[in-house]
Amino acid sequence: MTDKPDETDSQAAIERNREAVTRYARAWLAGDRTALAACYHDDFTLHYFGRNPLAGDHRGKMAALTILAEVTRRTSRKLLGIVDIMAGPARGALLVRERFERDGRAAEFERLLVYAVRDGLLGECWVWDQDQAAVDAYLA
């Protein structure tokens, strides 16, 4: 007997994760806030890294949406594009390019958003930024 998961189960998990993050990516690219919110599980947790007032673990769909709205308010962030959509049996991920603006300055960043999928919805997200110190300055 092996400890390897059944390949069929593994492939099915990969496809479930890919479907969930692809649905989210399409809604984001379309600017469809209703469809975006529908992608989140009610028990969604956002893990926002850094040394800024918004960093931390934000538990619950409404708490996460509130933080994401505040990030947008502070940075006028704009999605420039989805660089890649990735999926494995345990996680799905988006590599995105965003533009932040604040106080007359602007910068573009690649950000890696790693998701755990639950019940076909995004259940958890970890946000890794290309330049965390610069993102922290925009969020201060």
pLDDT of residue 30: 97
Tell me the pTM: 0.91
Backbone angles phi, psi at 104, to 5 degrees: 80, 5
pLDDT of residue 99: 98
pLDDT of residue 13: 96
pLDDT of residue 1: 46
pLDDT of residue 66: 97
pLDDT of residue 6: 76
Could you tell me the two tokens for 113?
A: 């958003």
Burial of 49 (0-12, 13-18, 19+ CB in 10 A): middle
Query: Could you tell me the mean pLDDT of each successive run of 10 residues in the chain, 140 residues long?
Result: 68 97 98 96 97 97 97 97 98 98 97 97 98 96
